[in-house]
Copies of this chain bind each other. A is one copy, B any other.
Amino acid sequence: MISLAEENYLKSIYHLSQAGSKSVLTNELAEAMNTKAASVTDMIKKLSTKEFISYEKYYGVNLTAKGKAVALSVIRKHRLWETFLVEKLAFSWDEVHEVAEQLEHIQSKRLIEKLDEYLGFPKVDPHGDPIPDNNGKIKALQQVMLATLKPGADSTIVAVRDSDSHLLKYLDKIGARPGKIIKVIEREEYDGSMEVSINNQRFFLSKEVSENILVNA
């Protein structure tokens, strides 16, 4: 008995608590959920009563084991559906997110088991993000922002952080996909931009872009 809105909040809390290691604050969550702080407080209370999160007034929230399990199950579904859309329906990389946001809420254990099997039990989704298993176990990838690499370093792209469709389209165009090798040629200190090579082609990436590309540590 968990609503769509509740699932989305739990998923967001999970992602935000992965980013920083502290409690997730009301305003952070409001921004992530595209809503107002007051609405977040309402929902937080509900989730807390249902014991999906622990909540200390004015000091943010943390997922309980129960809440984390829900979040990971939603993420699992999201990533399996994204894989399906790209591998089977020939969606391109940048088109899948919105649709997967809907599909992730379909309730049917059997469906997800069958889908997983149909896809050959994939370990990562098309963005390179790991797919949690049936028990909510997820392999933490050793990933760092491309932005942090020094000139001369080369590394494999494992994931893209933002799911903004303009970014994904751009990355697709220059061939910056998970699995690809990327090499840092030069880095400008004053604005954090860098020149890189992918497939033996050179590109300039702004700091915004290079912070969104995650590579092997």
Chain A residues proximal to chain B, CB less than 8 Å: 85, 88-91, 95, 98-99, 102-103, 106-108, 110-111, 114-115, 118
Contact = CB atoms under 8 A, between A and B. Distances in A.
Contacts of A103: 103, 106
B118 A89 contact: yes
Given A89-B114, A90-B114, 4 more contacts: A88-B118, A89-B115, A91-B110, A98-B108
Copies in the complex: 2
A193 to B, nearest CB: 34
A106 B102 contact: yes
20 contacts: A85-B111, A88-B118, A89-B111, A89-B114, A89-B115, A89-B118, A90-B114, A91-B110, A91-B114, A95-B110, A98-B108, A99-B106, A99-B108, A99-B110, A99-B111, A102-B106, A102-B107, A102-B108, A103-B103, A103-B106
A108 B85 CA distance: 12
Contacts of A106: 99, 102-103
Contacts of A99: 106, 108, 110-111
Nearest to A103: B106
Contacts of A114: 89-91
A82 to B, nearest CB: 12
